[in-house]
Structure 1
């Protein structure tokens, strides 16, 4: 086995040799990734069932098909994304060629989480490979079954001169972060995100941080309670609530809460039966540590629905809490489990004020039969993403960027945004070697006449240009 230093040096040497830059090479890697998904679909589903008790439906919908869709989109558009992007010019550069070149950063590190261990590992990888980088992939050690498949099987489908999977826990990841990378892409908690950003700062390494947060869900009085309950319950309890964009708490009036509670109970029973623990469609908590944390949150407020748990099965029932206080842990930390607090507010203004005095979330949801109400929530708040009258369906569009803002992260990806994230946008101007008489206007000795001519030449209809 190569040492860490040898592995990193091998990848750097490959990148410096220019091997990853041609479109043909990038496409070959993406096709290899596609074959990996097709050939090992059952193996991946078994690993996801082992790690998270995911049903084949959830595995296909939220892990495998999304990864395949990203690969297909990248392959269809790769050459167009790689093309130099021509830009507008001012009078002073009319005879020049001005464009943006998309260059790979070099050696990039992708640190993936455990909750969607296929999706959140492979989708960033698609962007990194499409952009022509060499990649070190660090899957989560917590989702052990999926980690094993990624470590033992995935490298067979990619060129190992420019790709490596490195394993280990926090200690090994810490040692990995001591090394210099050209870009780091991290998905995980804000606490670990700060550690990653601190390590990257030592080398001035740019980062994308896909973090989490408490995603608000405002429900207006005008809503049909059963429709809202169906949609909120589906997205809250999908993957046993272990989703960074899941609705984390509901804001509504006391009257709406009373209509919503029986509707939520009906939705839960319809989705998972009278005994959700026996349902093949409800996932499990990833680890005993996470189970213990969530069990502690069940003591907040009052349990209105669910609340049952089984430590041996890592099972927590789909739960709704009411009468929670803003100071309680369930309203202070990201829940990341099948628990939904309902907080009552007196008005839309109060709901917006409640949202805005907290950290900016990764996602924000608003339900109302009035488009005016939905657009008001959108206009008066800030979040990584927003969806009106549904859950995290905005994530299914590769034409939309996915990422956080403020404490919920920085940078974005999906579709072309992934390619752009892993590409340096290089400003290029190619000027002919002659015409020195024209260009000599900018040289000393200066005069008011020269200045007037230069200022006119540099105008670009609102674009400000500076001579350095």
Structure 2
């Protein structure tokens, strides 16, 4: 029996004891996870520095701050999320209990990504714990320092049987995927996502796939370019462009292309100085393989800004390409690096067509002062999320579901959306054994009269709030009549 199989079996045995189900236990584990993040912040920051050359402040801003908020919301709202959820009744069920009861799925496999090795690995874990599941955590081996810290320190805070950490590379991940899980949560690229889905299909295991793709960014010629380019520059080059929801390319009219380039140039200097290579808040590409992949995407394109690199440091300068076409090499795959192509279009009509001819993206950005134009882009395109006049910030709004559509993924998480994703929303109906005559319409022989009554009872919806208001009004009317008759006559 492999190590991975033993880990999964131990997690399942622990789950079957029922220890993860009480809300008190879930809250305790969530608070321990919060304590891990705060007490081991230095270890986390040091690991991310070694993996991606991020500063301690950047790590807190983009990795752990959101995690702390996610945990706080889960602790505060867990009792509400886990409570039975009454649903609308018909005349047939008016005297019955009819509700949805969230319940744990079982053992969840969480496969994390390397670009934000803490945020995208532990946020699904928050949802798994809150929903009452056991969870096997597989951090990405590419961000090896973060994976090692997670493996060594997380078990000091969370139950070791219910929430084990398994490190390793492709072979370990493949062995995990051979095991039976009750849900698999994968963050990464679509190529591996297909392999995960294929492995899950052998056990009919549901999956959440948080993938990526080429997220477009349309700039309207009438927008304030200074503000738009400032926000786009930040969204693109944070974490050295290694963000699944980073704007992948710009769509704009030819008349503003050069102005866009100049505004981005100013912002790069403002954010990262004239020499980003020596600036502590500018990161590095994760490894040599990805460095070479990103550099190869520049072939055949016109560099308007940047383009310089240092392979020994996995450094690629913030780079902007102009006059790019849909057939350019850089437009054939998600860039996932500090390279921003500009594709010119005649206007919003062509931009929408360009977007719709390609796979559905994880995020779509549109910058415009025209609300009608924004509404039109929303109505005529499809994406995991749409953000107008900013980039990336929807990820920080935990009341919004985060997830993709089509090639950019399936499923969603954040706050209650993650809780529901990793729960079974069980339909419950509790009837009484009396009033059997009222059920006669469903029993043979089936007649036209019975069908008529069935149609009435099945199709007539009951607005309980309205009934309660009517009952209260009737009670108040009766009380008023009594007072008038008893005391005022």
Is residue 127–residue 418 contact of structure 2 (8 Å, CA) maintained in 1?
yes
CA contact (8 A) 1:214 1:361 kept: yes
- In the alignment, which residue of structure 1 is the partner of 2:88? 88
Aligned-pair CA distance for 1:56: 2.2
Q: Secondary structure at the match of 2:89?
A: coil
> Matches of 1:122 and 1:128 in 2, distance apart?
10
| Equivalent residues in 2 for 1:182-201, closer than 5 Å | 182-201=182-201
Using the alignment, how far apart are the partners of 1:37 and 1:93 within structure 2? 48
Task: Give the corresponding residue for 1:126.
Answer: 126
Distance 1:2 1:298 in 2: 44
What's 2:97 paired with?
97
Structure 1 residue 324: Cα displacement: 2.0
Tell me if 1:265 matches 2:268.
Answer: no
Map Cα deviations across residues 125-180 of structure 1 (whole Å, 9 max, x no partner): 00000000001000000001100111000011001121111111112111110111
Checking the alignment, whether the CA contact within 8 Å between 1:215 and 1:247 is kept in structure 2 is yes
Alignment correspondent of 1:466:
none
Distance apart, 1:61 and its partner CA: 1.1
CA distance in 2, matches of 1:391, 1:450: 59
- 2:168 matches 1:168: yes
The question of whether the paired residues in 1 share the 8 Å contact of 2:5 and 2:176 is answered with no
Query: Following the alignment from structure 1 to structure 2, what is the Cα–Cα distance between the partners of residues 381 and 329?
Result: 24
Note the C-alpha offset of 1:51.
0.3
Q: Which deviates more, 156-165 or 429-438?
A: 429-438
Q: State the 4+ residue runs in structure 1 displaced beyond 6 angstroms.
A: none
Deviations 1:159-209 (A, max 9, x none): 112111111111211111011100000000000000000000111000100
TM alignment of 1:432-451, pairs within 5 A: 432-451=432-451
Residue matched to 1:361: 361
What root-mean-square deviation, in Å, do the aligned CA atoms of Structure 1 and Structure 2 show?
1.3
Computing the radius of gyration over CA atoms, which structure comes out larger, 1 or 2?
2
Could you tell me whether the CA contact under 8 Å between 1:301 and 1:325 is conserved in 2?
no
Question: Tell me, which stretches of 5 or more residues in structure 2 are unaligned?
Answer: 464-489
| 1:17 counterpart residue number | 17
Q: How far 1:433 sits from its partner (Å)?
A: 2.0
Stretches of structure 1 that go unaligned for 5 or more consecutive residues are 464-468
Residues 226 and 263, structure 1, Cα contact 8 Å, conserved in 2: yes
Where does residue 338 of structure 1 map in the other structure? 338
Corresponding residue SS for 1:205: coil
User: Is contact 1:134-1:162 (8 Å) kept?
Assistant: yes
Shift of 1:460: 4.0
Does residue 203 in structure 1 map to residue 203 in structure 2?
A: yes
TM-score, length-scaled by structure 2: 0.93
Quote the offset at 1:462 in angstroms: 10
The aligned counterpart of 1:390 is 390
Q: So what's the TM-score if we normalise by structure 1?
A: 0.97
Query: Equivalents in 2 of 1:193, 1:413: separation in Å?
Result: 17
Deviation at 1:328, TM superposition (A): 2.3
Matched, 1:300 2:300: yes
**Matched length:** 463
Q: Is the 8 A contact 2:130 2:419 kept in 1?
A: yes
Q: 2:412·2:421 contact (CA, 8 Å) conserved in 1?
A: yes
Check conservation: 1:215, 1:249, Cα contact below 8 A.
Answer: yes
Shift of 1:298: 1.9
Quote the residue 2:250 is aligned against. 250
CA gap of 1:450–1:426, structure 2 versus 1, over 3 A, is same
Q: Is the 8 A contact 2:100 2:425 kept in 1?
A: yes
Check the 8 A contact 2:442/2:450 in 1, yes or no.
Answer: yes
Q: Secondary structure at the match of 2:321?
A: strand
CA pair 373-80 structure 1, distance change in 2 beyond 3 A:
same
Write the distance in 2 (CA, Å) between the matches of 1:435 and 1:16.
39
Q: Secondary structure at the match of 1:26?
A: helix
1:277-288 maps to which residues of 2 (within 5 A)? 277-288=277-288
Q: What is the CA–CA distance in structure 1 between the aligned matches of 2:452 and 2:357, rounded to whole Å?
A: 50
Structure 1: distance between partners of 2:357 and 2:306: 30
Question: The residue matched to 2:324 in structure 1 has which SS?
Answer: coil
The CA deviation string for residues 85-118 of structure 1, in whole angstroms up to 9 with x for no partner, is 0011111111210000001000110000000000
Cα shift at 1:2: 8.2
Whole-angstrom CA distance in 1 between matches of 2:460 and 2:348: 44
1:395, 1:347 → 2: CA distance?
Answer: 28
Structure 1 Cα separation of the partners of residues 200 and 460 of structure 2: 37
Contact 2:378/2:386 (<8 A) preserved = yes
Alpha-carbon distance between aligned partners in 2 of 1:385 and 1:58, rounded to the nearest angstrom = 24
Q: CA 1:369 to 1:454, structure 2 compared with 1: closer, same or farther past 3 Å?
A: same
Structure 2 residue aligned with 1:226: 226
Check 1:133–1:263 CA distance in 2 against 1; reply closer, same or farther (3 A cut). same
Whether contact under 8 Å (1:300, 1:324) holds in the other structure is no
Deviates more, 1:365-374 or 1:342-351: 365-374
Partners of 1:432 and 1:226 in 2: CA distance: 67
Q: How far did residue 370 of structure 1 move?
A: 1.6
- Contact 1:300-1:321 within 8 A present in 2 as well: no
Q: Deviations over 1:262-306 (max 9, x none)?
A: 111111011111111011110100011000101111223110000
The answer to whether the aligner puts 1:178 opposite 2:178 as a matched pair is yes
Counterpart Cα distance in 2 of 1:286 and 1:219: 30
- Structure 1 contact 89–460 (Cα < 8 Å) conserved: no
